[in-house]
Structure 1
Amino acid sequence: MVHATSGFRGTRAGVTAGSAPRNETDSSAGESLPRIRVPYWCAKGHETRLVFVKLAEDQIPGQWDCPKCGLVAVREPGEATLERPDDEVFKSHLDYVKERRSSQDAEIVLTGALERLRARRVLSDELLGDT
């Protein structure tokens, strides 16, 4: 899910107010930016706690994708639903790969990769059970 606002609003972790990145100048210069921990819950009960730079309440995202199951997680426990909006279907990495390649393309890529490994003598035919 792409979020309209970023929790750090253009800052990098470890950056302090009024100073350059720590590896460029004295790390004791400036003050640390205030941070808050925001909990999110999905419909399956998974809790995710994210750290944001302290922003106005309306700038903190109201929902976040659960890293454990991919469902939408919200800031109030018990308010999340098991359904995703129709325009927002959760896809795994494999789903995206299958969109880009057909089964025939996958076979061609796999055959080429195995041939290169055999040519470098990394894989033998006996290990693959091809004989």
Structure 2
Amino acid sequence: MVHPASGFRGTRAGVVAGSGSSLQNNDSSSRPLPRIRVSYWCAKGHETQPVFLKMPDDQIPQTWDCRRCGATASRDGQAAAPDDPFDDGYKSHLEYVKERRSGQDAEDVLAGALEKLRSRGVLPDQLLGDT
């Protein structure tokens, strides 16, 4: 349920002109608002075509996120080329963790986990390579 103070009150996909409450106003005079499809191209050549209400050109965004690779796409197709041609915009969980933690943090977490396992008797006191 939409909160009455919400900015989306009385709107739905396919909103029609002149209808405050489109669910109860089934006038034959109501007509869909004009829409336009705008093309955006990313540096990899992917085309994205979002649909906007017809509005002045300066109100339509100049850039959009590519739906296929997530890179920035522009209307003129002159998006900046990615620094790494093999970067697909996807980050693994490990990459996000490496952004948040230093190498020393990782060593501390590993040492703590090994200590817990040793205290439970799961691991021997000395492992190969463990000093």
Q: TM-score range by the shorter chain?
A: 0.5 to 0.7
Q: Which residue of 2 aligns with 1:37?
A: 37
Contact 1:19 1:29 in 2 (8 A): no
Separation in structure 2 between the aligned mates of residue 74 and residue 91 of structure 1, nearest angstrom:
20
> With CA pairs under 8 Å and 6+ residues apart, which has the higher RCO, 1 or 2?
1
When residues 39 and 60 of structure 1 are mapped into structure 2, their CA distance, relative to the original with a 3 A threshold, is same
Structure 2 unaligned blocks of 5 or more: 1-10, 84-88, 101-105, 110-131
User: What is the alpha-carbon root mean square deviation over aligned residues?
Assistant: 3.4
Separation in structure 2 between the aligned mates of residue 91 and residue 21 of structure 1, nearest angstrom:
42
Aligned residue for 2:38, secondary structure, equals: strand
In the comparison of the two structures, how many residue pairs are matched? 88
- Which protein has the bigger strand share? 1
Q: Which has the larger radius of gyration?
A: 2
Q: Deviations over 1:18-70 (max 9, x none)?
A: 11343232163422111000000000000011100001000000000101111
Separation in structure 2 between the aligned mates of residue 17 and residue 26 of structure 1, nearest angstrom:
12
Q: Which residue of 2 aligns with 1:19?
A: 19
Residue 31 of structure 2 is aligned to residue 54 of structure 1: no
Runs of 4+ in 1 over 2 A off after TM superposition: 20-25, 90-95, 97-100
Structure 1 unaligned blocks of 5 or more: 1-10, 85-89, 105-131
Q: What is the percentage of aligned positions where both structures have the same residue?
A: 48
Q: Deviations over 1:64-120 (max 9, x none)?
A: 01011111000012x111248xxxxx665958x8579xx98xxxxxxxxxxxxxxxx
TM-score using structure 2 length: 0.52
Q: Which residue of 2 aligns with 1:82?
A: 81
